[in-house]
Amino acid sequence: MSQPDWGIFVYYRMDPEKVGNARWSALFADVERRTGVAGRLYGPAPDGRTWMEVYEPVPGANRSGFEKHLSAAVAEVGMEAVLAPGEYRHVEAFPRSKV
């Protein structure tokens, strides 16, 4: 039986003064180069500070490898530096529903 595809959802609150420093294009390009999975950006949410990256479909057999590559790309691009004080990137993974 094959493993389902996954959606990886990453949300975080940014320091509004640092939004212009966020390197989403570089991050998405690095992740796609490493994994073949393209990312999309949503935000800001109505609070003006919450943003979300979505990566899908991530093949089930490659999910843990994808998350390692994503973490490496985040570090390389410096995305942690634009987060609001005390914030971190929340990563959630959901299998694609067959319903």
Which pLDDT tens digit goes with each residue over 19-59? 988 999 999 999 999 999 999 999 999 999 999 999 999 99
* Contact present, 10 and 83 (Cβ < 8 Å): no
Q: Total domain count for the chain?
A: 1
Q: What is the pLDDT of residue 98?
A: 79
Q: What is the pLDDT of residue 23?
A: 93
Tell me whether residue 6 is in a domain. no
Q: Across the chain, what does the average pLDDT equal?
A: 93
Q: Is the pLDDT of residue 3 over 90?
A: no
Written in H, E and C, the secondary structure of 37-63 is CCEEEECCCCCCCEEEEEEEEECHHHH
Compute the distance between CA of residue 61 and CA of residue 57 in angstroms, rounded to an integer.
Answer: 12
Tell me whether residue 92 is in a domain. no
Q: What is the pLDDT of residue 1?
A: 58
Tell me whether residue 26 is in a domain. yes
Tell me whether residue 95 is in a domain. no
* Contact present, 11 and 94 (Cβ < 8 Å): no
Measured CA angle at 75 (ends 10, 42), to 5 deg: 30
Tell me whether residue 98 is in a domain. no
What pTM was estimated for this model as a whole?
A: 0.91
Work out whether strand 50-58 and strand 6-13 pair parallel, antiparallel, or are unpaired: antiparallel
Tell me whether residue 7 is in a domain. no
Tell me whether residue 23 is in a domain. yes
Half-sphere exposure of 3 (CA within 13 A, CB side): 13
Per the structure, the complete domain to which residue 79 belongs is given by 15-85
Per-residue buried b or exposed e for 65-82, using 16+ beta carbons within 10 Å of the residue's own CB: ebbebbeebbeebebeeb
Tell me whether residue 4 is in a domain. no
